[in-house]
Each structure stands twice: as structure tokens, then as C-alpha cells.
Amino acid sequence: MDFAKLDEEELSYELKTRGIAPMNNVNEMRNVLRGLIKIEVEGKSLLATDSSVSIDVKSEVKTCVKKLQVINTMVKNIKGDRYSEHYRAVDAKLCHLMNRVDKLPAVEPQDRKDRSNLLKGILFLMRKMEEMAISTTVVETNTNTNDNTAGTGTVILYEKTTITDMNSTSENSGSVTSDEEFGTEYFVQQGVAIKSLSKLLKGSKRHKNDSETHYTGLLKIMKYKTAKFIEWKPTEMSIFPDADEWNIVDTDYKQNGKNKNDCNIDIKINLATMKSYKMKKHKKHQISILQTNGSLVTFLFESSPINDFVTALKTLLHTEKEIRHHRPTGVILVLSERQDSDPLCQSIKELKIFPDQPPTSTVWSFISGFQNNPVEKTYETFAKISDVLLTRTPDTRPDQEVAELLNRVEDDDEYTMVDHPPSVLPPRPVAKPRGNPLNQATFYQSMDNEGRILNPDNIKNIIFYGGCEHLIRYEVWKYLLGYYPWNSTREQRLYIDKLQAAEYERMKVQWMNMSPDQISRFNMYRDRKSLIDKDVYRTDRTLDFFAGDGNENLVKLHNVLMTYVMYNFDLGYVQGMSDLLSPILMIMKSDEVESFWCFVGFMNRVNTNFELKQTGMKKQLNDLHYLLTTVSPELENHLKKMDSSNMYFCFRWLLVLFKREFVHSDIMRLWEVLWTDIPCANFHLLICVAILDNEKDTIINENYGLTEILKHVNNLCERIDLDKALTTAYSIYEQLKEAQPSLQDSVNELLGFSLSHSDTILSSDSNSKEDDYEKALLMNYL
């Protein structure tokens, strides 16, 4: 601990706990303490273990809470990396607080509760600091991106009070204000909702099962002198949170955000800037409108049919169905506004021979031109017509990106996909051979004297390329699975062990203390327990570790899974979880506490695989299909022909992350690679693609159908060359990276290429979590 960073009160506390009376001089206290700590490092604890130092628990709790709050603000304001003065100061203070809370003689239940809350707070701040230390630079870029997003403003969106200001800067300045008064209502519809605005602003957020916030309001089409607008004003608000138990935090966050900012919004869309629209008549009617600037607005017709609105639009606009691959995509392209009722003007305008001039003047200039110089004018006009016919049409088609944006709105339709022409990728780079595994020496040398891992990224890199030596998996997995923060000191890790052991025991006791009588009236618990009982008995029994009757490790497997049920009762136990736990239990040398927390870390990565509605699995299969379409269009074509594009034959791979496909030694190597999140969080999908790509010729040449593909894939079990799969997957990643600009947004997003996007999401998500945590802290203590 760096005593230079502690204040007087803290120093005197540190002295008191070592049985020394505090002095008046701060520096003197520091010197004494430095001396003491040197002795302590050598192993002689000078800490007064008896309670000779009497502490008033209540006031001590108060002091600690205050300190926690101070540190919380300090953490927020940390500038610089982990070596900066600022960071080390906070670190020292946190260390001090940890000791202090640890020594709180909490006897009464209320004190114990306070103490445990304090500990949680400390642990949270520790993790937060670690994140900061890792991503100081990332955070900075994030703020920039956020600003950008707000600046470009995907929707014409402004507060009521500033309408006039905004209008004066818009294209139709001047006349608009007066138009407001004289405009005529062309179409009015009550009870039209608009889809969550945050979703609009961050279009890439589609994959999150976030709650839908809908704003109901009045939809109008207004005709003003110079332009026509689709206008929408909110009348009330309705929120439909998903019943998804894991997103409660997110929902809260959103609701708060909305109350602050999003209430007073109007939406105005100039018909002249409409590029295309798309309707959906699934459950609720909805229409998504895309503007030329790329912004997208979706209106939901909650009770009324959409037809009247569309008919109204069509009388004002010239439209055309978008056709791709001889099939309508459902997107309606807006060709132009129907400007005037004069039929001659209109047909001339439709020819788009004179794009720059208003139709009336076009007609007159054409007529006068024809009178003055008939031959020349005629040729000129014909030339322009052929120009239109030969070259103009593509302009009115939305480009691929735009089409995708439109189709993005469809995300609640599972498996809805657009046809995209197969993208031509650059040749795949030669697969790089795997590297050497992380060895003991490298691992321990990477720590500073206090046991912090100085460069976690470097360690992760080694693991990604070569895995870990078996000997150090017991240590390394705890970092990879988030049990130990990478920047934790030895001292802190001992502390975490202690804390988490207590927490585990607490939850374990909950189910162990359940009496048979109680259980008889607790159906949901019984179901979960009986599933675990059945699966433990048949998990990896062929491995020595679990073999034989009365094997103690089966009991441990059972205990950890049962405790997880108490940890996350809503998810409970789902088949496949025992597969995920088994290697962890082996590596953790049958230690229940460490296995449990590592398992929690693993589950945090994959728990959506197990949810009741299987949305996580559906999404992954869908994402896999996207990637395969890009990487191996021939295979994808074949799958489509064989009614297999739902990719269900990869279900087992994804549900338990290949656990059933590889032998035990391989699965450990594979998982540690995946846990590094290098090169992206979806690397496992690329491994799927790599394996399938390897089987491509067999599947296509043998003309395998739905069942044959499943059988073939199931039969690959324990016959896949892991090193080859890993290296191929990485070279596919590099290949895609090179092709990045031409890739679809969805693919870029999956692979984390579109940095600006993904960073925005990351930062906003973690921010919301932190905000919530801070809220919780304040509620506890203020």
C-alpha cells in the first residue's frame, strides 16, 4: 500500500490497527507505517488480531461509506493510466478501505448487511478501475463517437421550443414558419406509435433484446405552400418491456433516460427527402421510412390499419417496388414527389430530363427552345431521354447499405434475410501456425511485485495463439473467466477468495437447508433439482475424473450446479450447463468455490444460449448464416436449396461451445482461446464457418440434404482437427477484415470491424450498468 496517498485519518487508523498510537505529524506516521509494512512483507503480521482496539461499528460504517463515496467520485475522474499518480492514489485509498471494512467487527445483522454492501461496493470499484486501466484510450475515442452520433442526428428531431430555430436553418427556411399556419391537413391518424428512438439513433443495437419503448402520437401528412411533410407529435407514452429477466437493468436505464430527454420530440419528414419505405403487416402494422440522409423512422399503427396512410402517400409520391434477383424485396422506392396537378408538367417531370428546374419552367423553356431552334432542341431532348433510360435507373435504387438499413427493422421476424449478391472476397491469407502455449515463467514474470499482471493484453495474445500450459490453467482460467481482475494484487486476490467463499457458502446453505417438506411445495425448485440429479450422473463419466460409483467429484458437480440455481434461479439449470462446468471443476482441482465463480464467469458469456425462448441460440444461428453467406456463398446456396439455412445442424456446437465435438484436452485449449475475446467476441462463429468450409466439398458434391447434413456434422464429433480449425478461422477473419469496406454492416458488426459502432454500444452498455450500480450504492447509503 502506498502510504503517501493516505490522509491523516486513514494513517492513524492504519497505525491503530497495528497497536500504535497515532502521532501528530502526517509524515512521521507515513514513515512509521512504511517501516512496519516492510516487516509485514517478510511475513510477520503486526496487525492487532484481538479486539483490543475498540471500534464503534456504527460510526466506522459511516466513515467507510463516506470513503467509498469519495473513492467512487475519484475513480470517475481518474486521468491517465495505471501508473499515473491519480490512479495509484485511488488504488491506495481503496486498499486501505478494503482492510478497514474487512476488520469491521460486524455482529448485528444490520452491520453485517452494511459490511457486505461495502464489500460489494469495493469489489465493484476495483473492477471498474481495472476496466479503466485497460481501456483508457478506448474510453476517449468513445466520447468522440458519441458526439458524432449526436451531431449527425439520424432523425429530424428537435424539442418543441426550438422548432422555429431549427427551421430557419433548414433548407426550406423563411416560408416554413408562415406555412405552419396555412398548411392543410392531408391525412390525420391518431394512435400511431414510433419505435424506440434510442434504437433509431443507434441502429446497430438491433441484436440486443432490449425493451421496446413506444411513443404514441398523432400522425399527419401536411401540405404547405412549398413542401409536404409527414408530421408526428407524441400524445402519450407507452412502454413495453420485454419479459426477459436479464434485461431488467437495461429497462430501468432506458426509462430514466426517456423521462429526461425524449419526451418533447416531434418528427417531421419532408416528402421530398423520402428515399424509400417498407411496410410490415405482422401483428401490428408498421411502416419504416428511409430518408435520403440515411435516417430511418418507423411508425407503428397500433389499432388502425396502415392502408389509408399508404394510399395517401401514394397520391403524393411516385413509387416503384424494388426488385432484386427478380423478386420484390418489399421495399418501395420513392421516385419523386407528385408536384403539380398539371398533367403535362407531371409527365415532363417524370422524364427527369431537366432535373434542376421546377417543372413549370421546364415546360416553358422547352417550348421556347423548341420555337427558337427546333432541330437542336429535339436532338438535345432525345439525347437526354436516352441518358435517362440508360443511366438514371440505378440512382433511384437504394444501395446495399440502405437496403440493409431498411431490412434491419425486420429484426423481430426470425430468419428474415435479404438476398445479397455474393460478395467477392480477397484470397484467404495462408493460415499462420499456432504458437507456443503460455508457460509458467512468462506468466509469473508478467506480474509486478504486488502481483498485478502488467500487460493482460500480451498474456491474452499468447493464449490466443497457443493456449496455456496445463500446469498454470488453474491460475490463468480464473483471470480469463473474470474471477480475478487482471490488475488485482496478491493481497486483493486473497481477499476475493475470502469474500467469494463466504458468498458461495451463503448460497449453498440456502438449498442445503431446504427440508423435504418445504421442497414438496416448491415445484420450480424440484424441477431444477431433478434435472441436475439426472445430468450429473451422466456428465463425462468416461473421464477418470468422474468415473466410478460414489465419485466425490460428482457431488461437487452437483453442489456447484445447485448453488448456481440459487445464484440465478430464473435461468435455473438447463441441459448443457453440466458440460460447461465439468472441465472447469477439473482444472480448479475440485475446489467448489473457485469452480463456481469461474462457472459464473463462463455462464455470463453464454447464458443467452440457455434462455427459455432460445432467442440467443436463434440469433447465433442467424449470425452464423450471415457469416457463411459472406465467406462461402456456394455452401450457403446449397444449404438454402436443401432447406437447411436455419443452420440447426450447428446447434450442438454453439449451445455448449463445441464441448461435445472435441476430446477433453482439445476443449480446454479451445475454450481458453475463446475466452480471450481475440480477435472478436464472435470468434466461435468463425470456427463454425471454418469447419463447415472444410466440409463444403463433401456436402455439395454428395448433394447432402437436410438429414444428411445433420448426420455428417454430428459424425464430425472428435474428428475435427482443432489447430486447423483455429488457424483457418483466424485466416478467414483476416480475409474478411481486408474486405471490410465491402462487407454488410451486419457482418462488420459481428466481427467488431465497424469500430465506431461497436464502441458506442459497448460504452453505452457498460455506462448503464455502472450508472445503475452507482444508483444502488447511493440508495444504500444516503
Q: Residues in the site for another protein, rule: CB under 8 A?
A: 279, 281, 306-307, 310, 314, 319, 321, 327-328, 330, 332, 530-531, 534-535, 537-542, 574-576, 578-579, 610-614, 617-618, 621, 643, 646, 648-649, 651-652, 655-656, 660, 706-707, 710-711, 714
Report cis status (omega within 30 of 0) of the bond before 305. no
Cβ–Cβ under 8 Å, residues 528 and 536: no
A 10 A CB-CB count for 193 gives 26
Smallest distance, another protein to C-beta of residue 195, A:
20
Distance CA 186, CA 337 (A): 15
Smallest distance, another protein to C-beta of residue 178, A:
35
Residue 371: C-alpha distances to residues 210, 357, 374, 384 (Å): 65, 19, 6, 19
Number of H helices, E strands in the chain: 33, 10
Provide the edge-to-edge strand list for the sheet that holds 212-223: 157-158, 266-270, 228-240, 212-223, 184-194, 296-301, 285-291, 274-280, 327-337, 317-324
Nearer to another protein, 225 or 613 (CB): 613
Residues of the chain by 3-state class (helix, strand, coil), percent to 5: 60, 10, 30
Q: Cα torsion for 496, 499, 503, 504, to the nearest 10°?
A: 60
Q: Which of 593, 519, 512, 525 is nearest to 556 (CA)?
A: 593
Smallest distance, another protein to C-beta of residue 566, A:
20
Smallest distance, another protein to C-beta of residue 374, A:
41
Nearer to another protein, 685 or 736 (CB): 685
Q: Which of 579, 580, 561 is nearest to 571 (CA)?
A: 561
Positive or negative torsion for Cα 550, 556, 557, 560: positive
Smallest distance, another protein to C-beta of residue 43, A:
48
Smallest distance, another protein to C-beta of residue 655, A:
6
Nearer to another protein, 322 or 745 (CB): 322
A 10 A CB-CB count for 755 gives 12
Q: What is the largest CA-CA distance in the chain?
A: 112
Smallest distance, another protein to C-beta of residue 614, A:
6
Distance CA 677, CA 623 (A): 17
Q: Look up cell 479486539; give the residue.
A: 51
Residues 6 or more apart in contact with residue 135 via CB below 8 angstroms: none
Distance CA 290, CA 275 (A): 6
Nearer to another protein, 102 or 611 (CB): 611
Smallest distance, another protein to C-beta of residue 388, A:
23
Smallest distance, another protein to C-beta of residue 580, A:
11
Nearer to another protein, 507 or 642 (CB): 642
> Radius of gyration over alpha carbons of the chain, in Å?
32
Cβ–Cβ under 8 Å, residues 536 and 578: yes
DSSP state of 306: S
Smallest distance, another protein to C-beta of residue 535, A:
5
Smallest distance, another protein to C-beta of residue 648, A:
6
Nearer to another protein, 310 or 762 (CB): 310
Residues 6 or more apart in contact with residue 643 via CB below 8 angstroms: 705, 706
Where are the alpha helices (H) located in 238-336, listed in sequence order? 248-257, 307-316
Smallest distance, another protein to C-beta of residue 72, A:
40
Give exposure, 552-586, as e/b (b: 16+ Cβ within 10 Å): ebbebbbbbbbbbbbbbeebbbbebbbbbbbbbbb
Smallest distance, another protein to C-beta of residue 289, A:
14
